[in-house]
Amino acid sequence: MAYYEHDVDVMIDEGAIQSRVRELGAQISRDYAGRDLTLVGVLKGSIFFLADLARAIDLPVRIELMGVSSYLDRHESSGEVRITHDVSTPMGGRHLLLVEDIVDTGLTMQFLLDNLQARQPASLKVCVLIEKPTRARCKVALDYRGFVIEDRFVVGYGLDHAEKYRNLPFVGAIRERDLQPHAKIGQNSD
């Protein structure tokens, strides 16, 4: 029996994820044909999605990484976002595709978009694996979306619960009984 089977219910299986990533990669390849594309992945959650998406894009791509934090503890957002790791090269004049694992409240995504737009890219779009629209506190434009899910606390494929479960090949929901008492159901970092 796998270590997660008592804690996690599969929501989006590995096959569905890989199929959708290939579809997104093909669409992005068409949309950016003839242009240089820079993927900007958001640490840590997007790394699995970023790697698979980059391989599914039939174009030469550059990869940059940003780290942000808005969490006072592991579960509750402070509402204040700060950069913990910045990109390593200038973004001005580049076609940027911001790649994120999940958009929940939208606050972190809006911060990232404002930050990157201030660097004067040629274009800036968003590709997200998972959207939870019922939790949105601000509206952000999502150009490429993998899946829309209900309001559950999800893990796997880069998403974590207390830094665990990122390595699962699927997206699953933590069973409510297994969340720590102070965790709010449905909340993930975004």
Model confidence over 115-156: pLDDT tens digits?
Answer: 999 999 999 999 999 999 998 899 999 999 999 999 999 999
Average pLDDT, the chain: 90
Domain count of the chain? 1
CATH number of the domain encompassing residue 142: 3.40.50.2020
Q: Is residue 149 part of a domain?
A: yes
Model confidence over 57-74: pLDDT tens digits?
Answer: 999 999 999 999 875 454
- Provide the annotated active-site residues: 104
Q: Is residue 170 part of a domain?
A: yes
Q: What pLDDT is recorded for position 89?
A: 93
Q: Is residue 73 part of a domain?
A: no
Q: Is residue 48 part of a domain?
A: yes
Q: How confident is the model at residue 177 (pLDDT cuts 50, 70, 90)?
A: low
Q: What pLDDT is recorded for position 178?
A: 53
Q: Is residue 153 part of a domain?
A: yes
Q: Is residue 186 part of a domain?
A: no
pLDDT cut 70: percent of the chain above it: 88
Q: Which two tokens stand for residue 126?
A: 């968003």
Q: What pLDDT is recorded for position 185?
A: 42
Using the predicted structure, report yes or no on whether residue 184 has a pLDDT greater than 50.
no
**SS3 labels along the chain:** CCCCCCCEEEEECHHHHHHHHHHHHHHHHHHCCCCCEEEEEEECCCHHHHHHHHHHCCCCEEEEEEEEEEECCCCCEEEEEEEEECCCCCCCCCEEEEEEEEECCCHHHHHHHHHHHCCCCCEEEEEEEEECHHHCCCCCCCCEEEEECCCCCEEECCECECCECCCCCCEEEECHHHCCCCCCCCCCCC
The boundaries of the domain holding residue 107 are 8-29+36-67+92-178
Evaluate whether 36 touches 91 at the Cβ level (below 8 Å).
no
- pTM given for the model: 0.88
Q: Is residue 183 part of a domain?
A: no
Q: Is residue 189 part of a domain?
A: no
Mean pLDDT of 41-51: 97
